Structure 1
């Protein structure tokens, strides 16, 4: 009886959380008039009535959606790949190597979690506008000033992440130190231990950090709005404001929202088990 009630409660939660997503997907195939006509009944979440791909075709006619998608994929993939490398190496140094002041450094890193991004967004804009960068002009490298309106300004400021470092740190401390000692007896250095011993055993942590890094990179809106002016460099989230200017079409909005939501859902479903396993391991260890 208790098990059936628990399963019923879980099913109800699934329905509650899935309802907006189902409504969005179904509405993306309906014209605006039918979307509003179906709101008062269950037809709003049922694939009935006049269904077509007109809204999706309208999205690509109204905005350069394919360019926005390519930009977001590029920015997110690079951020995830470099973020895993940088944060895991930092966590390895804090968890496996012994050096003076490492606990103070770890405490300082964790303390940054309480600082919201909005508090340092404007100072960060000022700094990235002053930082140098090497650009290729013809066959010569030239040093320029300012990162605004570039791809790297949307990636580099967010590579080091305190929560990712903490997750890796917690997971690395659960791996027996004896493996390091055995590897060192075989002549392995610290980088070899990191690459050949620790990282191959950290699949769940890597998957979790990948998800938690991908989500804010894909959903980034405020930062690109502040530092990117060129339409060719904008990510998908900035593109949604195009639909609220003239002639608002809710069907196209639902279609665009579906296009930018599905990749996130696919990523989470693909790494769901590893994500849950890593969070559980970090919670038990912590």
Structure 2
């Protein structure tokens, strides 16, 4: 019986390793190719050497990336936009989910259903109306000691952040996780004189670490990978995120080594983020699934 169990575990582990290897192949190929000149990339395609750092290896492609495009500026823009979106998204979505889960509000089930219904609407159908709306919003700008007011958020940082703070799926994840936290803790806190916001800040949110990690990942990924929206609303090069930078490499002569180097630069932060929070991510999804 023990031998059968060991054999079963070994078989399960082997299957997992095989799936991991298959999933890692594109990333390994990208990282290895980013160190090779174009001729060697195409020359190694017919053998397993395409996945090995062999031959003429150097970091010339990475140096060329920063010479060809303002990659540092693009990376800084994406880090700033993604970080602010994550922080504000965690606060707004968790606060909304807290109200729907813990507070006795009339019609909250209808509101929650309406929020979830927005998940079936693809962003592409909302993009053009959203462009019109953000172009009607007031824009406040300090000019010396005077405050100037103009109309339109196009070609600004906030147009890349504000429309994506509230997220229906993040609200759903927080709501499901909050439902698994005993409401007796709220009652005990209220007896001690705590208000709703203090309960949210001191009782519920400290227990919702896995949900927060999951929301952070699921908010960061779309913000980091955003391409269509910045392409529609950003004209200035100094405001563009990293994904827009990809099109620079396909204008004139295409260098696939530089493309792979740039792709590596914008992929590594996402992989590191997921590895750092993967345990919390799995725990949150499992908890939401059981409760749902």
Q: TM-score range by the shorter chain?
A: over 0.9
What displacement does 1:214 show?
A: 0.2
- 1:234 and 2:236 correspond: no
Residue deviations 1:67-116 (CA, integer Å, cap 9, x gap): 00000000000000000000000000000000110000000000000000
Q: Distance in 1 between the 2:137 and 2:38 partners?
A: 47
3-state SS, counterpart of residue 45 of structure 2: coil
> For residue 181 of structure 1, what is the aligned residue in structure 2?
187
- 1:143 and 2:149 correspond: yes
Determine which of 104, 110, 115 is the counterpart of 2:110.
Answer: 104
> For residue 134 of structure 2, what is the aligned residue in structure 1?
128
3-state SS, counterpart of residue 38 of structure 1: helix
Q: Distance in 1 between the 2:86 and 2:142 partners?
A: 25
More moved, 60-69 vs 131-140: 131-140
What displacement does 1:3 show?
A: 2.1
Q: Distance in 1 between the 2:139 and 2:100 partners?
A: 30
Runs of 4+ in structure 1 deviating by more than 3 angstroms, as ranges, are none
TM-score (normalised: structure 1): 0.99
Q: Distance in 2 between the 1:283 and 1:155 partners?
A: 29
- 1:12 and 2:18 correspond: yes
Q: Distance in 1 between the 2:148 and 2:67 partners?
A: 38
Determine which of 204, 209, 221 is the counterpart of 2:215.
Answer: 209
What displacement does 1:142 show?
A: 1.8
Structure 1 segments unaligned to the other structure (5+ residues):
none
What displacement does 1:4 show?
A: 2.0
Residue deviations 1:220-256 (CA, integer Å, cap 9, x gap): 0000000000000000000000000111000000000
3-state SS, counterpart of residue 149 of structure 2: strand
> For residue 256 of structure 2, what is the aligned residue in structure 1?
250
Q: Distance in 1 between the 2:285 and 2:255 partners?
A: 40
Structure 2 segments unaligned to the other structure (5+ residues):
1-6
What displacement does 1:140 show?
A: 1.3
> For residue 153 of structure 1, what is the aligned residue in structure 2?
159
How many residue pairs were aligned? 286
Q: Distance in 2 between the 1:137 and 1:27 partners?
A: 48
TM-score (normalised: structure 2): 0.97
Aligned-pair RMSD on alpha carbons?
0.6
What displacement does 1:2 show?
A: 2.4
